[in-house]
Amino acid sequence: MRSLKLFLLVSLFFFQTVFSQYFWTEQVTGVTGNLTSVSNIDGTNAWVCGSNGVVIKTSNSGYNWSNLSGGGLPSNISLVNIFGINSTTALTAGYISSNSYVYRTSNSGVNWQLVFTQPGGFINGIWMQSTLNGFMQGDPVGNRWSIFRTTNGGVNWDSSGQFLAQSNGELGWNNSVWGISNNIWFGTDKSRIYFSSTGSPPWVQQSTGVNANIYSIWLNPTNMQVGYASGDSLSKTTNSGNNWLLTPSIGTGAITGFTGINGTINYWYTRSNTNIYFSNVGGPFSTQYTAPAGNFNHLASARSGFIGGPGAIYGVRTNGGISRLNFMVEGVTIISNEIPASFKLHQNFPNPFNAQTTFKFEAPRLNTYSSGDVRGGFVRLITYNALGQEVGSLVNEVLQPGKYKVEWSGNDLASGIYFYRLLVTDPNTGNIIHSDSKKMVMIK
pLDDT tens-digit readout, 51-66: 999 999 999 888 789 9
Range scoring the smallest mean pLDDT among 15-29, 36-50, 343-357: 15-29
Q: Cα–Cα distance between 339 and 121 in angstroms, integer? A: 54
pLDDT of residue 307: 56
pLDDT of residue 430: 77
Instruction: To the nearest 10°, report the CA torsion of 396, 397, 401, 402.
Output: -50
Residue 334: exposure state from Cβ atoms within 10 A (0-12, 13-18, ≥19) = middle
Q: Is the pLDDT of residue 8 over 60?
A: no
Q: CA dist 343 to 42, 376, 429, Å?
A: 29, 11, 18
Q: Cα–Cα distance between 97 and 283 in angstroms, integer? A: 44
Q: Which residue has the higher pLDDT, 427 or 15?
A: 427
Report the b/e string of 232-267 with b at 16+ CB within 10 A: bbbbbbeebbeebeebebeeeebbbbbbbbbbbbbb
All domains of the chain, ordered by start, with CATH? Answer: 22-328 (2.130.10.10), 332-442 (2.60.40.2550)
Q: Which residue has the higher pLDDT, 173 or 8?
A: 173
Give the number of other CB atoms < 10 A from CB of residue 427. Answer: 23
pLDDT of residue 397: 75
**Residues 6 or more apart in contact with residue 166 via CB below 8 angstroms:** 140, 143, 144, 145
- How much is the mean pLDDT over the chain? 89
Contact 30, 53 (CB under 8 A): no
Confidence of residue 369 (pLDDT cuts 50, 70, 90): low
Q: What is the pTM of this model?
A: 0.76
Name the strand (E) or helix (H) holding 117.
strand 113-119
Q: Which stretches of 214-263 are assigned E, i.e. beta strand?
A: 214-220, 223-231, 234-237, 245-246, 255-260
Q: Is the pLDDT of residue 134 over 60?
A: yes
Sheet architecture: strand order including 90-96: 78-84, 90-96, 99-105, 113-119
pLDDT of residue 25: 81
Q: Is the pLDDT of residue 18 over 70?
A: no
